[in-house]
Each structure stands twice: as structure tokens, then as C-alpha cells.
Structure 1
């Protein structure tokens, strides 16, 4: 700890240690729930403060991102290693970095233009990719492609994800789109494309090189990693392409997805009512639709109907 940090009270030191841990273990803590075992609860300290300013406010905002649950320390054994490491600190004159991620570009406006969602799917040795292109006006343009490569081209999940991303870029370039946001749930493709992770797999290096070549055709290109639950449309298109076999020469028109808010048999009720004899459910239908009873209905029947 730095000299001015040593002047913090004990609970503030715990908050500082928690922020430091989230910086070092971010790739673990963002994917799982974390149990915080401690003698004091730093999260409750931050939340219960009536007015937060300066470093306390920054710490609170940074910690809200993670799913951290406080657990009371019940045994001294569990803290032996932690206490030992705290008593032998590493010499480091740098302060804890509590800057917000991408704070230097926080004022940058987002691309209110085209968005591309991609995903790949594997189903019993069959592979498909799904692409969803959304225009600035909100129009959805879906595309499903079945990958029917020869046997000597062995496909993996990562290769299928690369195929989906590349096909999406090729489609947008053909449409003349030069500003694009790309959304995908493959963290490997997103991180390798941005240069954050190195591409070590020999089978993926040609895909990575071709993806970089396509990227040069865009003026603005931004990659965003999505949880799988938020990429369901592209996932459904990829699963559809992997499961069905389309005969040669058959053209499948764009799929139209509609929303129906009432069961189909409701139209049958209206047709039957026009007949002379009323159906047995006419009084139920009349009560649900208009909140009225038939004139000949008794008080007992009305109560039973309700």
C-alpha cells in the first residue's frame, strides 16, 4: 500500500483490497458469483454511507458490476493464507487503478447505424451459421447458411464462429455498408479479432488473416461481445441451417415471422354466434368479452359463471 493508503480506516482498506482483487481477477469474477469471506462487509459499508464522494463513489460503481455476496468469516483457518500474504506485501509503488473502463472515450458517440449479429451451431456433425443484419430503421435481414464442406475440412466450433463472422462482413460489404457494429457470443473470435488475444491455433490463422483483410474495407468497425442469451435470433438461424437439408435447386424465400395474440379458434366463436342456435359456451364468451350476462340467467347461475 502507498503511504496515503495506509491512513485509511480498516473498512476502507478492505474496500481497496476488494477493488484491487476485481482488477486482477476480472476474467473470473465477471462469469461467476463470488462469495466474499471477511470479518467486515465492505459492500455494506459503501451502500450504507449517506453521502459518497471521491474514491468511495468510484469503488462502489466499479464493484456493482460483479455479483459479490458477503459471507461472515466463521473460522480463522480460512484466512491464514490471506493474512500471510497481506503481511508480506510485494514492493509496488503504483496506486490501485480505480479508473473506469474506457473512461477516456466515454464521450464518444455510438454508431447509430447497421448492426450485425452472428452465431454458429453444430448438430450431429452438421454445421450451420446464422446472421442477422439490422438496419438503422430497425429492419431485420436474416440469413442462414449450411456448411457442407468436404470431409478433409474438419470443422470445430471456433471455425464455425469465424465462418459466421466472415460471412456477415462479406454480406455487409456487398451492400455497401462501411460503418458497422458486430455482436457475437464467441469471446474467442471477438478478442482475437481486436488483437487482445493471440491466434495460436494453426487452423484459425487463415481465418484471422482473411478477417483482417475484410476489416480494411470498413471506415468504422466495432466488435461487441454478447452473452449467449442476448444472441438468440442468430443462434436460431444457425441451428435451423444445421438441422435441415435443402434439396439441390430449391430456393427458400426469406422467412416471415409474425406475432399472433389470440388463438386461431377465436374466429370460430364469432362464426358460430351468427347461427340461430347459440353454442354451449356463449354465456362464458359473453361474460369474458363484454362482462355481461344473458337476460334469462338467474343469480345462482351468475355466481357459478363468475
Structure 2
């Protein structure tokens, strides 16, 4: 039952986070193979868990369940064991991390350049060659390195 409950809690969390595609890995052959329909759920105590798990799975556009033997899942198993040993009290309570999603409009400023090169030409050249423009001073070079860190060349 505990493995079913853990899987159910994981699916509920994924639903809360509006996950559309999910890969579930578990070391419980019973839970995974019953969910995949390869084994029948004979134990009457597990039937409600199994049915609820299937109901939750319908909330995803794509979901897969994969059995992973515990021997191949040692790091996750060790992490779970370690987490179960931690005693959370008011003194060491960890506040949840709040992530804010900005839904406001994005703003774009159109800047016309005087030459024929696109605005990103110096960044692209720096990423391709690692060389600075000939006119660049120390401040320009620092700015170019900072800007280039936010880009990568795809397919070039």
C-alpha cells in the first residue's frame, strides 16, 4: 500500500504543477506491473488504490510507468532513506520555495542600426571565434562576454 500511496502522491503533485507528460519510475514490481495491466490486482485492499491511480493517470496527455530494480536505483533509494531520517521541527523548518510566474506583457524596443549588420552580429562572431571586434575596449569586451553567456549557436 505504501508504494501505491507514494505513486499517488507523486501523480497528485505532478497534476498540481500542471505537468502534461510524465515518466514514472518505481522499484515496486507489484505497483508498476499492476498499473501497466500486466498483473491483475487481486488483493482487495489494493483495488481502490489501483483504481485511483488509473483515474489520476487520465489527467496526463502522456504517461509511462517503468519498473526499475532497486539495485539500479541505489542513489534514489539512499536519498529517500536519508530524507526519512530527517526530523523536521519548528527550529529547522525549511520554508517552501515560492516561484512566481510573470504573466504580464513582454516589452520590446525596436532599435535601428546604422550599418547593415544585425544587432547580434558581434555576439555571434564572438561565440564562433572567441575574438573581440577590433574597436572593442576593455569595457566593451566585458559587456560582450556577459551578453554572449546568454546565447549559444544552434546548428552552426
TM-score by length of 2: 0.54
Provide closer, same or farther for how the CA distance between residues 163 and 249 of structure 1 changes in structure 2, counting only shifts above 3 A.
Answer: farther
CA deviations on 1:232-269 (whole Å, 9 max, x unpaired) are: 23312321233333225852368xxxxxxxxxxxxxxx
Residue 244 of structure 1: aligned partner: 86
The Cα offsets for residues 152-199 of structure 1, whole Å up to 9 and x where unpaired, read as: xxxxxxx11112111111111111111111111111111100111111
Task: Output one character per residue of 1:265-292: Cα deviation in whole Å (capped at 9) or x when no partner.
Answer: xxxxxxxxxxxxxxxxxxxxxxxxxxxx
By how many angstroms is 1:223 displaced? 0.9
What CA RMSD, in Å, does the superposition of the two structures yield over aligned residues?
2.1
2 CA distance for matches of 1:192 and 1:208?
8
Q: Point out the structure with max Rg over C-alpha.
A: 1
1:221-300 aligned at under 5 Å gives the runs: 221-247=63-89, 250-252=92-94
- 2:124 paired residue number: none
User: Are 1:196 and 2:43 matched, yes or no?
Assistant: no
Q: Match of 1:182, SS?
A: strand
- Any runs of at least 4 consecutive aligned residues in structure 1 with deviations exceeding 6 A, and if so which? none
Q: Which has the higher contact order (CA 8 A, sep 6+)?
A: 2
Please, which runs of 5 or more residues in structure 1 have no aligned partner? 1-158, 255-306
Aligned equivalents of 2:83, 2:25: Cα separation in 1: 19
- The change in CA–CA distance for 1:195 and 1:248 in structure 2 (over 3 A counts) is farther
Name 1:187's counterpart in structure 2.
29
Query: Per-residue deviation at 1:204?
Result: 1.2
Question: Of the candidates 190, 206, 215, which is equivalent to residue 57 of structure 2?
Answer: 215
Unaligned runs of 5+ in 2: 97-156
What SS does the corresponding residue of 1:217 show, helix, strand or coil?
A: coil
The whole-number CA distance in structure 1 between the counterparts of 2:77 and 2:6 is 11
Corresponding residue for residue 76 of structure 1? none
Give 2:135's aligned residue.
none
| 1:98-118 superposed Cα distances (whole Å, 9 cap, x missing partner) | xxxxxxxxxxxxxxxxxxxxx
Judged with a 3 Å threshold, the aligned counterparts in structure 2 of structure 1 residues 181 and 247 are, in CA distance, closer, same or farther, namely: same
Change beyond 3 A, Cα 1:205–1:249: farther
SS of the residue corresponding to residue 197 of structure 1 reads coil
Aligned length: 96
> TM-score scaled to structure 1, two decimals?
0.29
| 1:224 counterpart SS class | strand
